[in-house]
Amino acid sequence: MKHVNPEPPPAILDDAAREEIAALVDRQRRARGLLMQVVTFAGGQVEDAMKFLPKGVRGRLDRAARDALERSYEVASKTSGRATGDRSNKVIATISGALGGLGGLPTALAELPVATTVIFRAVQDVASRNGEDPLSAETRTECLRVFGSGGPGDGDDGVDTTFVGARLSLSGPAVHRLIATVAPRFAALLSQKLASQAVPVLGAAAGAGTNYAFTGYFVEMAHVHFGLRRLARTFGEEQVLDEFHRVLASRSYPVKRA
């Protein structure tokens, strides 16, 4: 049976939209550059940093990442207000990282949920600026996806564009499954952060630097993620993602395609 009032077809992708998509590709490049600065500063790849963490910490890291993401997801449903802006969020995260590094590894572990919540809130701000309802379960779920967007390794994927085609149930079990998928990737990044903060006092400077760069990375990836979602609402999923992948391929940037 035909719909009485079918939805209008998406608009044809215009030059302005193509330019915006190209700008989002550039944001992905800048995001990876920021994170690579953290990797260099901390002294090596994530795998190297893991060797310097106590065995017990390595075993608890995935769980810590899951707990931090779950807590951030819940807190985000109650704390959204006026957008604070990318720069302000970086400053808040930097202060948090400095305080977390003062006491070495114990305070760095205690600071993980705080840092994760600050970054989640920054991602939530970006979603709001792109026309999303920051308090909705759908938007908060998409914020979680940003935490699984790429990493510092050369072989790692870039922004995950499976968000458009995904029709994930927003039930509690579905959210937990998503967190379980994202957590290992996020934990790998956290291992670099913890390794850099392991030395008391000196860890304060390292914590400030890593938090600043981590926030910059995830905020840039959030602009890509939610920018594509915003464009898809006008021009349709297929046109937007085809153009996004075309530009990525032409500039040889990595991407995880839906």
| Per-residue pLDDT, 258 | 41
User: Mean pLDDT over all residues of the chain?
Assistant: 75
Dist. CA 58–CA 184, nearest whole Å = 12
Across the range 145-163, mean pLDDT stands at 58
Across the range 242-249, mean pLDDT stands at 90
Residue 107 has pLDDT above 50, yes or no: yes
Per-residue model confidence as pLDDT tens digits over 118-150: 889 899 999 999 999 988 888 888 898 888 775
- As given in the structure block, the two tokens for residue 254 are 């990595």
Query: Quick one: which of 131, 134, 112 has its CA closest to 122?
Result: 134
Amino acid at the residue 189: L
% of the chain exceeding 90 in pLDDT: 19
Per-residue model confidence as pLDDT tens digits over 178-188: 888 788 778 77
Split at pLDDT 50, 70, 90, the class of 163 is: very low
| Per-residue pLDDT, 62 | 75
| Per-residue pLDDT, 6 | 56
Structural contact between residues 252 and 155, judged by C-beta atoms closer than 8 angstroms: no
Residue 24 has pLDDT above 90, yes or no: yes
Split at pLDDT 50, 70, 90, the class of 159 is: low
| Per-residue pLDDT, 223 | 93
| Sole residue written with tokens 């302005």 | 16
Considering the entire predicted model, what is its pTM?
A: 0.78
Q: Which residues contact 242 (CB under 8 A, 6 or more apart)?
A: none
Q: Provide, for the chain, the percentages of residues in helix, strand and coil under a 3-state DSSP scheme, each rounded to the nearest 5.
A: 70, 0, 30
